[in-house]
Structure 1
Amino acid sequence: MPVTAPMQRPRSVGEMMQRVAFMITPEGMGRALAFQPRPDDVFIAPFPKSGTTWLQQIVHTLRTRGDMAFEEITQVIPWLELAHDMGIDVEAGQPARPRAFKTHLGWDQVPKGARYIVSVRDPRDVLVSQFHFWNGWFYEAGTVSIDDLAMGLFLNPNVPFNYWPHLQSWWPQRERPDVLMLCYESMLADPEAAIRRIAAFIGVPLDDALLRLTLEHASVDFMRAHARQFDDHLVREARDHVCGLPPSETGGHKVRSGKAGGHEAVLSDAVRAALDEAWQREIAGPLGLPDYAALRRVLEGAG
């Protein structure tokens, strides 16, 4: 990518999308798609900003009984699609079994033969979380509004990787024995129940001490206190220059409020209406779920 000096952050969604395209190379994606997992491997596979880092921390805490000896969680639970471009060998040893990998691939693309944990989150809160995540990293802070991001990226039908096809691909797999689908809001409401289900799913015996430890290490307060270990700074160090971005310690923050419903105070009526329309078109019709509340009821009933 030809980069002019000094490098500057994008100031529009269109320019941001051009830069993001350089994050994962075709070779890196090809290696990810060709990866051959072991039967006990665990893929943490939500759509971005839907609980991925939280699930990584839960799984890593369960399998190691609380190991925090990592600079950034990507080191111990690699991001499959980006591993090659970060110089990470996905076949290298991990701190404990089962091996775990982060991915945002849909069911149609994810390597088969492992186990898969997918958390689903209200798309309105996903949008808000994406806005804060990209702000100051892939676009200059304050130059892109949440309406810009909603219409230019989240609701853009020309963007192939988006919330709607990801949910469409995973929802029909939710009752498979090798898939655990969780509702983000239900995890917030009852983290102990979520941890118990995850431990059973990945085959880690859960005693009372490990349960208490995991509840602590996966709490918002704990992860905020160790924010540097969850902030994607290794990703930024490896890929910012390639994407034409100047170095920065801001942006990429993943541990914010740890709450649901944050969209209520920030989304415009126009964006709300567009999101509702997209849900009816992409989810209500194809999947038979009239709204997000119906999805949550189905997942809670399956628990």
Structure 2
Amino acid sequence: MAFTRRQAGLAAIAGLAAAAAPDWVSARIILGGKQIDTVSDGYLTLPPEFVFDGLAPDALQRVLQRYGIPAGPLRPEVNVTLLRDEDRVVLFDAGAGPGFQDSAGGLPEALDAIGVASEDVTHVVFTHCHPDHLWGVLDDFDDLMFPEAAYLMGRREWDYWFDPETAQAIGSSRAAMAVGARRRMEVLENRVQLIADGEEILPGVAARSTPGHTPGHMSFEIRNGSESVLILGDAVANHHVSFSEPAWPVGADQDPHAAAATRLRLLDMLAAEKMRLIGYHLPGGGIGRAERSGSGYRFVAGA
């Protein structure tokens, strides 16, 4: 087998990765014959105003203090879901890749550490096109990180980010996101399969439209008989404000009011049906459940 440039890079840092010995697999669910793991891409460093812009400061501080969130930058986990089912190896989102934030982009090392080669990945399914979800499709050399994979994305999300006018319309603070998204999507253009709400995209995996965080954001339900788990992406993006006060419009969402309506619908369903969930930025690897708590909800970590 040819030794690719990406493999050469991994070999060069293999000793460092082994020495650090991080816990790459954060959490696991066994669903019939399906094995679902969350693997770490690292974490983000975000200014609080990016996430909480527009919220009343006093009310916000009461929630953050209740959850023990310190002042200063937020550092949410980045949890990539890995599904192994028969001969399918499926990633839900591709991580941040190189060049976004130094604290993220560890997915290739995480997969390597658990014995999953990039060439083993058969499908990459995207919740949306923000950098920490999409940019990891390309390596340091702008080659495809997962060269054998099929790529799946909601049609509305694809159309929005692939439109060259989006970079001008989205606002200066997000313009670089739009430019970076389109550059990567151009590489995927002839390989992507566009999907619709309600579609069974793989055996036992259905797409669910959850707009607001981005215009075409999707979540994905993995089902086996009467059991299921919902991969939320960023539809519920933190364990404090978005659970405790789901109706609050959050600045990190592109359409805060649509995103709030989506959160309320999802959390009501998840709590009522006692369905397990996986959140891309939730703590403890992101796997847990939503429970009602007063007028809101709380995140209960654990499979």
The answer to which structure has the higher strand fraction is: 2
The higher-RCO structure (CA 8 Å, 6+ apart) is: 1
More helix by share: 1
